[in-house]
Amino acid sequence: MTQKSRIVGILLIALIVLVAFSACTKKDDRVTLKVLYYLEATAPNAITDANDWFGTFEKNNPNVRIERENLFDEPFHDKTRAYAAAGELPDVLYVWPSGRSDYLHDQHLLKDLGPFIARDNLRGLFLPLTMDPAQQQAGYMAMIPQGITTTHAFFINMEVLNDCGLQPARNYDELKAQVPVLRAKGYETVMIPAQSDWVMQSCLFSMIAGRFGGADWHERILSGRAKFTDAEFVNGLDFVRQLYADGVIQRTAVGIDYGEGPGMFATNKGAYYIDGDWRVGAFITDSSTGQALISPSRQNNIRITVFPDIPGARINSASSVICGVGYAMSAAIPAGSAKEAAAWELVKWLTGKEVSETRTEHGGTPTPSRTDLNFAALNLEPMQKAVANLGNEFTTATVVIDGVFASEVYLPINTGLIEIAVGRLTPRQVAQNVQDAYDAWKR
């Protein structure tokens, strides 16, 4: 090999190394969005839908890279609080309009989406209630709700009732009378997976408090015209005690994980089941497997309404309603930045027409906030149609407790309901504890 050849060879090797080094060190100009997503991995379609939605967004926005963290129930809330406390809130996250996300609202950790909504002329594409800043604890549009939520739904299994020669109870006396009949056949009467303390408060007691106190009961407390120790609130708590004492709800309910409830109802462990309207999504067909917890043919035997009339209640035919969950942006994102623009496009996509239609069809949102969806084209199963009619099953909408009171106030209610269930505290003691917490919060 001549010296010239050796030089050429060396130069070629150097060029190859340089090209390789440049490729390895090439700057990634994409915007990275950290996303905290609420995902119940066992729910039908949940994983497939999430992967599709975020994957499609990245495909349509090649300048954006998403780092997504999936969590569910208490682990999700614990992690969100940890991020907030550390000042490291993800760029886009799943939030509540109040309640479980109250600290995010109170500390103004979420960006005001009002100017973005106005700029892109989106307000007319959503139900008015979901575009009302007064419905969010921050007092501004901190998030876009993906729907309206009825937190109390009363599921009726006609297979079980027919097996016992019964019809759906119209009032509490009839419901109580069914307990020994159902028990004799090995069935529970009313099931509720109440190990997580928010479930009893949100899915049952908020409805009970509204029935005993009236639709404005919370306003009277907040304005100082009433107290939690007044008879109407104590009577509501005492009705919870009575549910356990009468065997309508088993005390073991407080030991049942929230994720276990749908399976128990689907396998005919009891005649009635209490949960939020969103839980319909747990029963329908998973498009990726073709399997359903309750097959469409069996779903025709399931009715969805509200709890029967309660004696002594101020109102009946009532349920608890609130703006649903949705998506928000961290207030820490610099205004006018590429990250802000990307985050807003992701929020728009996740609350947009295409995702909303899929979410509705797959059971994730029974009452979507979008007004431009083509419901006639959606493939809805019997239980989805039943929950879509839930609003016609009651005449008065009352508040959800953790949607109108601060966590300092509703947490003693949550834990107090568990204490009543296990017999450690009386309804009056719980009411006093809540009033004391309220007075401390007001100070």
Q: Evaluate if residue 21 carries a pLDDT over 60.
A: no
Q: What is the pLDDT of residue 357?
A: 93
The pLDDT value given to residue 129: 86
∠ CA 235-320-245, nearest 5°, is: 35
Query: In this predicted model, which residue has the larger pLDDT, 141 or 288?
Result: 141
Higher-pLDDT residue of 20 and 233 is 233
- Point out the least confidently predicted range of 4-8, 225-229, 427-431: 4-8
> CATH for 150-321+390-442?
3.40.190.10
Q: CA–CA separation, 383 vs 363, rounded Å?
A: 9
List the single range of 55-64, 177-186, 208-217, 283-292 with lowest mean pLDDT.
283-292
Render pLDDT for 278-294 as a digit per residue (tens, 0 to 9): 999 999 999 889 999 99
Q: Where are the domains of the chain?
A: 31-145+325-368, 150-321+390-442
Say whether pLDDT at 9 is over 90.
Answer: no
* Cα distance from N-terminal residue to C-terminal residue, the chain: 91
What share of the chain in percent tops pLDDT 70?
94
Confidence at residue 29, expressed as pLDDT on a 0 to 100 scale: 87
- The answer to whether residue 16 scores a pLDDT higher than 90 is no
Among candidate residues 170, 237, 172, the one with its CA nearest the CA of residue 208: 237
104 pLDDT higher than 80: yes
Q: Do domains 31-145+325-368 and 150-321+390-442 have the same CATH topology?
A: yes
Angle at 231 between CA 411 and CA 250, to 5 degrees: 55
Query: Distance between CA atoms of 379 and 426, rounded to whole angstroms?
Result: 48
DSSP result, 232-250: HHHHHHHHHHHHHHTTSB-
- Residue percentage of the chain with pLDDT more than 90: 86
Whole-number mean pLDDT of the chain? 93
In the predicted structure, residue 20 carries a pLDDT above the cut 70: no
Among 57-71, 139-153, 251-265, 364-378, the least confident range = 364-378
Residue 364: pLDDT band (50, 70, 90) is confident
Place of tokens 């969950």: 325
Answer CATH for 31-145+325-368 from 3.30.70.2860, 3.30.470.20, 3.40.50.720, 3.40.190.10: 3.40.190.10
Please tell me the predicted confidence (pLDDT) of residue 333: 98
Identify the pLDDT of residue 27: 62
Q: How far apart are CA 167 and CA 356, in angstroms?
A: 36
CA torsion, ordered 375, 376, 377, 380, to nearest 10 deg: 70
Does residue 25 carry a pLDDT above 50? Answer: no
